[in-house]
Structure 1
Amino acid sequence: MVDLADIRAATEGLPRSYEVLVRDQIKFRVGQIVYLAVAPDEKSMGIGFPKEERDAIIAAQPDKFFRPRPSDERFRWIRVHLDAIDTDELRELVLEAWRMCVPKKVAAAYFDRPD
């Protein structure tokens, strides 16, 4: 199971990303766009995800992924059970959600940097 410390580690160092607390909920943003939100109980998170792929991944892996609240259905968003993923999968989800929010040049510079 991943936790808030793992989420913070996965978002650390991402250009233009920052953490905020909104109504007792931890969110990660690029500008004003939220790309990750941790549930208040810290057992799940909402994360940016392509709408056109959402139904397929929920059907394929219902133990990991579930639908966003009805009010969030219109957004590119999916919910994830934190006890069903490991840190590698978390990092992959975070990077893809972040990439959807930053300019292409920023993402390209980040992924092209030497390790």
Structure 2
Amino acid sequence: MITVDQIRAVALTLPRTHEALVRDRIKFRVGQIVYVALSRDETVMGFGFPKEERAALVAGEPAKFHLPRPSDLRFHWVCVWLDKIDEGEMRELVIDAWRMVVPKRVAAAFTETQR
């Protein structure tokens, strides 16, 4: 199962990211915008994801992905069970969620350094 330390190791390498503890939940933010959040029991990761694509993601792999609680459906957000993904997939989800909240030039500069 993916751990908080593995997620932290990816998230904290991303420019402008900081970690916050809010109501006993670990969240990774750029400014005040949360792009990854963990459930209190650290078994579920919520992450930023385009609203228009999330129904297809969940329908395609319902054993892995699920929608957030109804009160959070207004946000660009999807959830994943951490025991259903590997480290490579977690990394991709975290980086893609981060790209949604940073300026395009910051994301582009990061992508350039990864080549």
TM-score tier by shorter-chain length is over 0.9
Structure 2 length-normalised TM = 0.97
Task: Tell me the CA shift for residue 12 of structure 1.
Answer: 2.4
- Paired letter, 2:60: A
Q: Please give the root-mean-square deviation of Cα atoms over the aligned residues, in Å.
A: 0.9
- Equivalent in the alignment of 1:47: 47
Per-residue CA shift, 1:40-90, capped at 9, x if unaligned? 000001100011110001011011100101111011000110000000000
- Equivalent in the alignment of 1:23: 23
- Paired letter, 1:103: P
Looking at structure 1, the residues matched to 87 and 114 of structure 2 have their Cα atoms a distance apart, in angstroms, of: 22
Looking at structure 2, the residues matched to 113 and 36 of structure 1 have their Cα atoms a distance apart, in angstroms, of: 22
- Equivalent in the alignment of 1:111: 111
- Paired letter, 2:75: F
- Paired letter, 1:96: D
Structure 1 length-normalised TM = 0.97
- Following superposition, which runs of at least 4 residues in structure 1 exceed 2 angstroms of deviation? none
Count of residue pairs brought into register by the alignment: 115
Looking at structure 2, the residues matched to 44 and 98 of structure 1 have their Cα atoms a distance apart, in angstroms, of: 17
- Equivalent in the alignment of 2:79: 79
Looking at structure 2, the residues matched to 114 and 54 of structure 1 have their Cα atoms a distance apart, in angstroms, of: 27
